[in-house]
Amino acid sequence: MKRRLKKLFSRFTFVGLTIILIFLFEVALIVGAVYLALALFDHYLPDYTVYVYYPLIAIGWFVQLVAVLNVVNRDMLPESKLPWVICIVSLSVLGVAIYIVFSHNRPTRVQLKRYKLLHAHSQSFIKRSLSKEYLEEKLGVRANISEALYLSAPEAVAYESTATKYFPSGESFYESLLIDLERAERYIFLEFFIIAKGEMWGAILEILKRKAKEGVEVRLIYDDVGSMSRVHVRYYKTLRKAGIKCVKFNPFVPVVTNVHNYRDHRKFVIVDGKIAYTGGINLGDEYINKTHYYGHWKDSAVRLEGEGVKSFLLLFLGMYNLHNKSEEDYNKFIPEYEKSEGEGVVQVYGTGPRPIYNRQIGEDVFLNLLGGAKEYVYITTPYLIIDYRMREALCLAAQRGVDVRIVTPKIPDKKIVFALTRSNYLALIKAGVKIYEYTPGFIHAKNFLCDGAAGIVGTINFDYRSLMHHYEDAVLMFGTSALKELKEDFDETFAVSELQTKESAKRNVVFRWILEIAKVFAPLF
């Protein structure tokens, strides 16, 4: 009861109600203006109403036609076009107004120019150390996947001189992170979707404050909406007073716009440019099972030590300087790395909204790995709300004999999203994909393992928000020790998960129809 009341009176609830009220107010203004205009015409020009009314109808149709043609010719996913056409056709001019407000969410020219300048600035500090020919010799056919990623995201340089360690739980990650934070000598950089007051963040914050006093440079980026119900609105000022250089990503402004969808969903820590962590774990107590809202919280992370950390460093500095409207010499942060032939290859990459990154890089990497899979593909994701090309790639892999397994939660954190996740089960199961639900509770890990030879650990969910709207990060690994540990974790996870069947996937028919309709509009949110 106490938790529900806290949510009811939280800033998150206030923000949601504010957006709804502003939207209803704008709709009321549009509808009111139309009715007032028609009433005035009808009252003052009764004899000429027909000459006004029908031209207005014709103009409305023309505006709808132009809007529909604009949707059809825009560079967006086909799945996104259909719901906008439905909205425009069914709601007439009001639908056009909604389309204009919510769909044209490109950054301003100034913002886009600044992003490109900073991106180019980052590239000047990073060079390929492994040639394409060497990667072909080392990775075989998978070298093409590595090269395709590098061409899409130039900071995603492939490195050998990097040790990897996989953590199958938030608790093991947390224990290791505290040790590395204590050892920091030059700087600590953190970028997280959620920071939440509690035992986990409290212990980390204590170290950060102490390190800042010792002269270690501490920087933090956290997402405003992600942390909205966890810390107060001016928390970044509190952290700055403690010596932490803090940036609140994309602060919420009560304006009805789709730009609010652009969230910083990344989760990583960099220590002295030599050590980095990433994975699904935010800085909140549920991630280390100190709170138990959804049963056992299953998460994961990976630790990098060596040259591969450089890509994380450039991702962070690019985002930090973008929001601080500054530019600095990144060389002062890049340490000397010991060159050594690692047991495998790592590539760190970032993804973001399509208007900025031009491609859905996260999904492209998944699809490339699926297309080259021979034996098995194992996936863990808290949400399974996928587009047509991802669904077909999963089905085609299963149909050609690849053992495709996906693990989702048994206990959901968001019931509507969970219902949409389950609505995708039947089509996948019919094609031979094995769907498991993690019975001890909620699985939040975002892992991908292909044939034991290639894998991904990062922040990318199998849903539209992660693949289309959010800023994300991940590590693509080939032949590293972390992959062996990841395989062991998958085997242990399957053992405590429940295999879904066609019968269990066939929910109530009416409910299934409702979900199918809802899925049409899923790409917009």
Distance between CA atoms of residues 392 and 464, nearest Å? 16
Read out DSSP for 351-367?
A: E--HHHHSS-HHHHHHH
Whole-number average pLDDT of the chain = 85
Per-residue model confidence (pLDDT) at position 57: 72
Amino acid letter for position 115: Y
pLDDT tens-digit profile of 59-98?
777 888 888 888 888 777 777 787 888 888 887 777 787 7
Dihedral sign (CA 153, 421, 438, 269): positive
Decide if pLDDT at 449 tops 80.
yes
Element (H, E) at 442: strand 441-443
Per-residue model confidence (pLDDT) at position 52: 60
Decide if pLDDT at 283 tops 70.
yes
Per-residue model confidence (pLDDT) at position 255: 59
Decide if pLDDT at 337 tops 70.
yes
The residue-averaged pLDDT of 169-189 equals 98
pLDDT tens-digit profile of 114-123?
777 777 777 7
Decide if pLDDT at 171 tops 60.
yes
Which residue is it, tokens 């106490």? Answer: 2
Pick left, alpha or beta for residue 61 (phi over 0 → left; psi -120 to 50 → alpha; otherwise beta).
Answer: alpha
pLDDT band at 419; cut points 50, 70, 90:
confident
- What's the token pair of residue 380? 């863990």
Per-residue model confidence (pLDDT) at position 414: 87
Percent of the chain with pLDDT over 70: 82
pLDDT tens-digit profile of 205-233?
999 999 999 999 999 999 998 898 889 98
pLDDT band at 4; cut points 50, 70, 90:
low
pLDDT band at 149; cut points 50, 70, 90:
very high
Per-residue model confidence (pLDDT) at position 407: 98
Decide if pLDDT at 192 tops 80.
yes
CA atoms within 13 A on the CB side of 41: 15
Read out DSSP for 261-296?
A: G--B---EEEETTTEEEEES--BSGGGGTSS-SSBE
Question: What one-character DSSP code corresponds to residue 233?
Answer: T
Percent of the chain with pLDDT over 90: 53
Per-residue model confidence (pLDDT) at position 94: 75
Per-residue model confidence (pLDDT) at position 498: 97
Mind spelling out the 3-state secondary structure of 185-199? CCEEEEEECCECCCH
Decide if pLDDT at 341 tops 70.
no
71 or 4, greater pLDDT: 71
- What's the token pair of residue 74? 């825009």
pLDDT band at 186; cut points 50, 70, 90:
very high
433 or 46, greater pLDDT: 433
pLDDT band at 43; cut points 50, 70, 90:
low
